[in-house]
Amino acid sequence: MSEIKIDHVSRWYRNVVAVNDVSMTIGPGVTGLLGPNGAGKTTLIAMMSGFLAPSTGTVTVDGQPLWRNEQVYRTVGLVPEREATFDYLTGRQFVVACAELHGLDDPGASAQRAIAQIEMTDAQDRSISTYSKGMKQRIKMAASLVHDPAVLLLDEPFNGMDPRQRIHLMDLLREMGAEGRTVLFSSHILEEVEQVARQIEVMVAGRHAASGDFGAIRRLMTDRPNRFVLRTDNDRLLASVLLADASVRGARLRTGRGADGGIELEASDFGRFSEVLPRLAREHGVRLLEVTPTDESLESVFSYLVSS
């Protein structure tokens, strides 16, 4: 079980601040580093990889600094964003070379295990120059896994993958998280993060905008209305009593042609609303048939964070 600790880290290039006073702790399991392009994700991952010195602050893995400390790579595996590998090698030769550089006892066997893990056994003897973008991504993954690292860092790993490869990689990341590895991947695509990671760190404009599981991030935004659709056996009555409560900003009955009933509701205080709703329904004898959050998607969290 390993932990990456980022402590008040900033990084600037001349007068441009790429990462601004970020602190976070990445523990075992899968963590998604989410943010739009230019948010500072790559800079942050470069510092977590030991390939960039923080201008201020420290980045450590299990208390060990990453900068100028090559021994840390016994614990850390890295899948860089850039596509270039040693194109003149075959996939197997590349992974074996990485195993040798890690000083493993049986580089060939370790390489075979890693290649099998990412399902590239059939293509392992082909030159990397003939691989598709997705295959290159997978062989990079095998190279990063060859020494069985406790920490795995992936920079935009889903770039260029087709849907099947994407699903396979997502499964693999979940599996590695479940094994107790500390897996961190960056992405600007919301669905990817949502499908793989429950723990999310959001970067916006170089700042650490939010942290926690997806639901927690959503609930933290108390100044933003939460939308729900309610289905009950008496929509009109429940809508009127809910509107009288301070936690509800607005309610609309879904009536008219084509509508299948229910209440569209905007709650301004999620915590209070979740307590008030069942109590008021019980007090007024209204039966709740369905309570569905309509914007409980990472897209709504993200667009809110980006626009704020």
Partner 1 sequence: MSAAISPTIVRLGARSIFSRWRGVLLFVLPAILIGLSLLVRVLVGQDEASAGVTLYRLGLVVIVPLIALLATSGLLAPEIDDGSISYLLATPTSRHTIVISKLVVAFSCVLAFGVLPMLVAGLVLRPDSPSFAVGFAIGSLVSGTTYCAVFALLSVMTRHAVVIGLIYVLIWEGLLGGLLDGVRWLSVVRWSAEIVDRIADLSLVDDLPLTYALIASGIVLVVGTWRTGWRLRAFNLTGDE
Interaction between residue 15 and partner 1 (CB under 8 A): no
User: Cβ of residue 87: shortest distance to partner 1, in angstroms?
Assistant: 8
In the bound state with partner 1, the residue whose beta carbon lies nearer, of 80 and 177, is: 80
For residues 10 and 56, the answer to whether their CB atoms sit within 8 Å is yes
Longest pairwise C-alpha distance within the chain: 74
In the bound state with partner 1, the residue whose beta carbon lies nearer, of 143 and 183, is: 143
Of the candidate spans 54-62, 79-87, 158-166, 191-199, the one that interacts with partner 1 by CB under 8 A turns out to be: 79-87
Position among 59, 120, 141, 143 found at the interface with partner 1 (CB under 8 A): 143
In the bound state with partner 1, the residue whose beta carbon lies nearer, of 95 and 230, is: 95
In the bound state with partner 1, the residue whose beta carbon lies nearer, of 73 and 302, is: 73
Position among 30, 61, 76, 172 found at the interface with partner 1 (CB under 8 A): 76
With helix as H, strand as E and coil as C, how does 171-239 read? HHHHHHHHCCCEEEEEECCHHHHHHHCCEEEEEECCEEEEEEEHHHHHHHCCCCCEEEEEEECCHHHHH
Position among 12, 17, 20, 38 found at the interface with partner 1 (CB under 8 A): 38
With b for 16 or more beta-carbon neighbours within 10 A and e for fewer, the 5-27 pattern comes to: bbeebbbeeeeebbbeebebebe
Position among 144, 165, 182, 232 found at the interface with partner 1 (CB under 8 A): 144
12-15 LR contacts (CB < 8 Å, sep 24+): 12/55
In the bound state with partner 1, the residue whose beta carbon lies nearer, of 82 and 164, is: 82
